[in-house]
Structure 1
Amino acid sequence: MTVTLRPMTLDDLPEVMRLEEELFAPDTWTVAMYRDELSRSDTRYYLVAEFGVTADEDEPAGPPVMVGYGGLIAYDDEAHVATLGVTRALQGEGIGSLLLDALLAEADRRSPVVLLEVRADNAAAQHLYRRRGFVEIGRRRGYYQPSGADAVVMRRKRVRALSRIGGGRG
C-alpha cells in the first residue's frame, strides 16, 4: 500500500467528517471548526493521508481514498498536535506514524516544544506518541466533550544536535 500525504483543503471536509465520526464520536469536531482551522494558514498545518486504488486487468483505477488526517497549531514558542486520526481498518499499518512524523517535522521548524492531548483510554495513540519522544506531563479531567473522557497531556521538546568542542570524553 502506497500512502501519500498532501495538504488538507476545504474540499476534503466531507471525508474528514466521515472519519471524525468513525474515530471520535461523540467528541467530534464540526465542519465549522475545520473551516476555521484551515483559514489560519499562518499558524496551522493540516494534512490528509491517501492511498490510490490500483486497477487490476478488468477494473479501472479509482480515485485516491482518504485514510487519515492530522493537524498542527504552531507558534514561535510552542506547537500543538491538534488532531490525528487513521481509519480503524488501517490502524497499525504505519499511517499514523507517517502523519505524526510530518507534523513533527513542521513543528520542529517553528517551535521548541510540541504539546498534545490524547484520550486517557487510547493506549495505542499514547504508545505512538511515546515512541516519538513525548512524555506525560499532566491530565485534564473531563476534557473531551460531550463524553467527559479524560485527556493525558503530553510534551515533546525539539531534539538538538550536540556538538563536541574541546576536551570532552568521546
Structure 2
Amino acid sequence: MMELLVLGGAVLAVMVVLNLLLTFALVRRVRALQDRVSNVPARDPALPQPGDAVGAFQAATPEGGLLTDEALRSGVNLVGFFTTGCHPCATLRAQLLESPPRLPLMAFVEGHEDDPAARELGAALGAIARVAFITETDSVTKAFRPAGYPTLIRVENGTVAASGHQLRDVLS
C-alpha cells in the first residue's frame, strides 16, 4: 500500500513539473507574440495616404510671409499640425526642438494668433519651422485633411510620402 502511495506521489510530481514547463513555454510564446504585435504600429486610417496629392492652400505667417502648396511641389518637406492644450503635441514639439529634422518644416498651429497659448506654441516652433496659424475650415486643413493633433506629413514633390502622429512614422 505504501509503495502505491509513493508511486502515485511520484506520478503526480512528474505531472506538476510537466505542467509547469508547459506553462512557462506558453508564457514565453505569448510574450514573443505581444512583442511582435507591439512593433507594428497601428495606422490611423483617417491620415492622408501615401500617393495623395497635396491640394492648393495658402496661409499667412505672423511675419507677413505666405506659405503655399507651391513650396511643396519640389523636394522633400515635412508638414506638421499642432494645437494648444495637447499633450502629444507638446511631446512632439519637444522632440523636434531637441533634434530638429533635416527637412524643411512647415508648422501649422490651430488657433488664432491673438491667443497667448497659440502664440507661445507658434513662437517655439518658429525656431525650426515656418509657422502659420490656421482654423479647421481654412484651405490648409482642406488641402491636407490632418487626422487629429499632432499630425505629421512628409511631402515629396507635391505628393504625400508618409503621414503619422509621431516622428518615426514619417522619418523612417
Ranked by relative contact order (alpha carbons within 8 Å, sequence separation 6 or more), the top structure is 2
Higher helix share: 2
Higher strand share: 1
- Common fold: TM-score over 0.5: no
Q: Point out the structure with max Rg over C-alpha.
A: 2
**TM-score, length basis structure 1:** 0.28
